[in-house]
Amino acid sequence: MTNQPSQLFNAIDSLLSAIDDGTVLPVPAERVRLREAAGLTPAAVAQALGVRVPSITAWEAGRAEPKGERLEAYRRLLEGLAHRYPSSIEPPALAPSASADRPGLSVADAPAAASVPAAAAQPQETPDSQPSAVPPAPKHSSPAISPTASSRRPAARKAASTSAADPRFPHGPLAVLDGDGSAYGIDGIVLDCPATSIVELVEWTLRESGLGAAKLNRHGKDSDPLIVLTAAAAVKLGLPERLEGHEQRRSLRLPGDHPVVKQISKAKWQLTQRGFGPWARIYRKTQGRERQCVQLAILSWDALDERSWPGVAEMEPADITRVLGVYAQRVITPRGSTAVSGLELMTALRPPTRAVQDHASGNWVSGYNPGSLGTEPVDPAPPEATSEHPVVVNCGWAGGFLNEEAYQWVRAVDLLSDEECMLPFAVGLDLNTAFLAASARLTVGLSAPDHFHAPTFNPKIPGSWLVDLSHIELDPRLPSPFTPDGTRPTGPAWYQTHTVAYAQELGHTVHPLEAYLRRETGAYLDPWHDRLKTAYVDTLADLGVTKDLSDAEFLAAMERHKQADPAMAAVLAAIKATVKGGVGKLRERPQGKSYKQGERWPALERPTWRPDIRAAVISKARVNMHRKLNNMAKMTGLFPLAVLSDCVVYPSPGESPLDFLPYAASSKPQPGGFRLGPTPGLAKLEGVQSMLWAVDLMEQGLNPARHIKGGDAVLDEGE
């Protein structure tokens, strides 16, 4: 929320007028004493100045200075306090400021509590790690924006919080570095970065910047600081402005003999196996498995993909910081593409290990963290793997594969009725983050699969089942729930548990011939779902789309939400891409022309290479879609024209979903069908075209759901 100067001064004047003139401090330079003399908390000052509490803490510690109009407003506050509180009077007793922000915490409690997210704050049962040292104050904090930086358009402030509560990281998780040495941090902070090489930048970031983020789970690790380089900064630090050919080959990296790569090696730093590409990780091993690490993202090398981060790469540095800062606070500090970040978030929320006590020696050692995927990769069952996987190639598997994919279905034109063809409009509905909704309370396998012959089906056991569902006959105006293309199965095939369970739900008996099942199970994705759901809903709310809107108000708000704040709209797009990309990464395929069938590829060494979990999410999402389609047909007699993943197109008498969605006499949506709303699994308007347009595409064998929005909807699963 950006205050104009007059608004800031009015806020400060109101703050001053509300202070009890009872005690004083000697000089304006002693900011902490002046504030405490007035009985003000850091939160009260932060609210008046339109910043976050860590900014006030940094200003009072001398680690940073306010800029521009906030500098003037803060000076006005301190001068007013100095006049009201002469140095001859002792300040009144004041409760620790931490207690004002966190009721029930003492000063001693505050740092420890601040380092743990609210969702994870709980009694520490084991000493899982040593606390990190507080970084020293930066040597270069700009008291005012430099002439080059002063011309930049300031980022519009929203209600979205980007501040880090951990005192070890006073300047938040990341900064955007420009060519003049200005490092733009969250909450308007601008640090001076004196680095003239990548090595100097890494050392400044770790020793002086105050950047980083606390771990998301008490058994996890803190997030490495992220430095985003503008094109000018990249060139200043010795990097090429562009990687030649990167547009065609997204895997391009700097060659090993590039001067920057040599400098990194000479300084005893290392690059990961990914090398120095758009997202580079530079690290140095310290003690044991711990390491110092800095993440770099180079904007001019397309680090921020336009599909996932629309318009962000072209924003001013302060606005880029705001977008990435909100994403880091609500999701995770970016670690690469949104797909990579989605996968990293799973591990950050479900760390593979925790500290356990060895009963024989009494020492604390690293042990398995229950509910996680552990530290070792697990091979899938042959039907869950891909055709090039060593499990398949080495055993000569020819028994078929799971085909649990999202819908791509179009109804046959000859199944359209005259009444449907006479309707004027085709209206597309899109389910909000359907894969995220499907991951909620989803039980998946945690261990390796076991093979069973002729098992009795149990809908509570995750796994893959060979079963014949071809005898099940359903209305041909609906897609089959058992295949992605909506056609009826022709014989026995492999299905994930949710697909087989849905056959039972529809009233049909199932007799599996074989199964690959897992004995250890758990809701692995629950914290991932909860965090991303909150991020999605909160970001929509920042754009004016809230849960309390009526359906008509919701549709109107969605129509204008992207224009309300392009920065927050970009955050929303990134959150959605994180969901789809993260699920897709669970079955990442081999890359590169040199790959040969049967060879292991790097992704297989991750415990999170789990195609069975991906299949479970997509199966549940497709079943959820079919259940709504079936209920809609029963309640309204309406049948879809086409479905593409989470988008469905219906014939309609009007241009709005309100013209055909089922409502009760009380004007409340009928349960079981499609409902409008801002939460995952509810629907929004995807687009409207004429019915004639839709039928024409169907006759050409094209999918209206792909084009209903006016373009080409890409089914991107991050693979």
Dump pLDDT digits (tens) for 221-279. 999 999 999 999 999 999 999 987 655 556 689 999 999 999 999 999 999 988 999 99
Q: What is the mean pLDDT of residues 323-339?
A: 97
Laid out side by side, the sheet with 190-192 consists of 190-192, 182-184, 174-177, 226-229, 291-298, 279-285, 270-271
pLDDT at 69: 79
Does the pLDDT value for residue 591 go beyond 80? yes
Taking the C-alpha atoms of residue 697 and residue 550, their distance in angstroms, rounded to an integer, is 33
The range of the structural domain enclosing residue 276 comes to: 137-329
Mean pLDDT score across all residues of the chain: 85
Give how many domains the chain has, as a whole number: 2
Same domain assignment for residues 147 and 102: no
Q: H or E segment at 501?
A: helix 497-505
Q: What is the mean pLDDT of residues 315-335?
A: 97
Q: 314, 329, 344: which is the final residue of a domain?
A: 329
Instruction: Determine what percent of the chain is predicted with pLDDT higher than 70.
Output: 82
Q: What angle do CA 310, 312, 315 make, to 5 degrees?
A: 135
Poorest-confidence range of 122-131, 179-188, 286-295, 558-567? Answer: 122-131
Q: What is the mean pLDDT of residues 434-441?
A: 97
C-alpha 155: how far from chain center: 21
Residue 422 token pair = 């006479």
Does the pLDDT value for residue 28 go beyond 60? no
Q: What is the mean pLDDT of residues 489-495?
A: 97
Whether residue 144 contacts residue 65, with contact meaning beta carbons closer than 8 Å, is answered with: yes
Q: 300, 329, 358: which is the final residue of a domain?
A: 329
pLDDT at 42: 78
CA distances from 570 to 130, 172, 536 (A): 37, 20, 12
Q: Using 50, 70 and 90 to split pLDDT, how confident is the model at 93? A: very low
Please list the residues that pair with 521 across neighbouring strands: 445
Pick from 41, 6, 36, 8: which is nearest to 23 by CA?
A: 36
Q: How many CB atoms lie within 10 A of CB 511?
A: 11
pLDDT at 215: 94
pLDDT at 149: 31
Same domain assignment for residues 281 and 182: yes
Q: What is the mean pLDDT of residues 556-580?
A: 96
Does the pLDDT value for residue 88 go beyond 90? no
Q: What is the mean pLDDT of residues 619-645?
A: 97
Query: Does residue 248 belong to any structural domain of this protein?
Result: yes
Query: Does residue 359 belong to any structural domain of this protein?
Result: no
Q: What is the mean pLDDT of residues 676-690?
A: 97
pLDDT digits (tens, 9 = 90+) for 163-211: 546 888 999 999 999 999 999 999 989 999 999 999 999 999 999 999 9
pLDDT at 321: 97
Query: Does residue 52 belong to any structural domain of this protein?
Result: yes
Same domain assignment for residues 244 and 145: yes
Q: What angle do CA 390, 396, 399 make, to 5 degrees?
A: 105
Residue 534 token pair = 């909150």
Query: Does residue 97 belong to any structural domain of this protein?
Result: yes
Of residues 688 and 151, more confidently modeled: 688
Laid out side by side, the sheet with 425-431 consists of 408-410, 642-644, 647-652, 425-431, 683-690
Whether residue 149 contacts residue 182, with contact meaning beta carbons closer than 8 Å, is answered with: yes
Q: What is the DSSP letter of 324?
A: H
Residue 652 token pair = 């309609």
Please list the residues that pair with 366 across neighbouring strands: 355
Give Cβ neighbours of residue 581 (< 8 Å, ≥ 6 apart): 308, 337, 338, 339, 340, 341, 342, 343, 716, 717, 718
pLDDT at 167: 86
Place of tokens 């590169």: 592
pLDDT at 36: 79
Of residues 589 and 48, more confidently modeled: 589
Q: Using 50, 70 and 90 to split pLDDT, how confident is the model at 439? A: very high
Does the pLDDT value for residue 572 go beyond 70? yes
Taking the C-alpha atoms of residue 327 and residue 586, their distance in angstroms, rounded to an integer, is 22
Of residues 269 and 74, more confidently modeled: 269
Q: 329, 358, 376: which is the final residue of a domain?
A: 329
Same domain assignment for residues 172 and 235: yes
Same domain assignment for residues 252 and 319: yes
Q: Using 50, 70 and 90 to split pLDDT, how confident is the model at 711? A: low
Query: Does residue 396 belong to any structural domain of this protein?
Result: no
Taking the C-alpha atoms of residue 201 and residue 294, their distance in angstroms, rounded to an integer, is 9
Q: Using 50, 70 and 90 to split pLDDT, how confident is the model at 71? A: confident
Does the pLDDT value for residue 128 go beyond 50? no
Same domain assignment for residues 210 and 169: yes
Does the pLDDT value for residue 675 go beyond 90? yes
Pick from 62, 55, 19: which is nearest to 37 by CA?
A: 19
pLDDT at 133: 34
Poorest-confidence range of 157-166, 186-195, 664-673, 701-710? Answer: 157-166
Does the pLDDT value for residue 683 go beyond 80? yes
DSSP letters of 589-640? PP-STT--TT---GGGGSTT--HHHHHHHHHHHHHHHHHHHHHHHHHH----
Same domain assignment for residues 148 and 240: yes
Q: Using 50, 70 and 90 to split pLDDT, how confident is the model at 288? A: low
Q: What is the mean pLDDT of residues 120-138?
A: 36
Taking the C-alpha atoms of residue 449 and residue 521, their distance in angstroms, rounded to an integer, is 11
Same domain assignment for residues 205 and 313: yes
Poorest-confidence range of 61-70, 85-94, 360-369, 471-480? Answer: 85-94
Q: At what angle do helices 42-49 and 53-61 cross, to 10 degrees?
A: 110
Q: Using 50, 70 and 90 to split pLDDT, how confident is the model at 357? A: confident
Of residues 620 and 96, more confidently modeled: 620
Q: Using 50, 70 and 90 to split pLDDT, how confident is the model at 135? A: very low
Question: What are all long-range contacts of 605-610, with beta carbons under 8 Å and residues at least 24 apart?
Answer: 605/377, 606/343, 606/377, 607/352, 607/373, 607/374, 607/375, 607/376, 607/377, 607/378, 608/343, 608/346, 608/347, 608/373, 609/377, 610/373, 610/378, 610/380, 610/444, 610/586
Same domain assignment for residues 200 and 93: no
Does the pLDDT value for residue 29 go beyond 80? no
Q: At 388, which amino acid appears?
A: E
Q: At 674, which amino acid appears?
A: F
Same domain assignment for residues 172 and 316: yes
Give Cβ neighbours of residue 637 (< 8 Å, ≥ 6 apart): none
Same domain assignment for residues 100 and 178: no
Does the pLDDT value for residue 526 go beyond 70? yes
Whether residue 438 contacts residue 620, with contact meaning beta carbons closer than 8 Å, is answered with: yes
pLDDT at 94: 34
Does the pLDDT value for residue 22 go beyond 50? no
Place of tokens 């009725």: 417
Residue 565 token pair = 């704040």
Pick from 550, 713, 573: which is nearest to 647 by CA?
A: 713
Same domain assignment for residues 213 and 316: yes
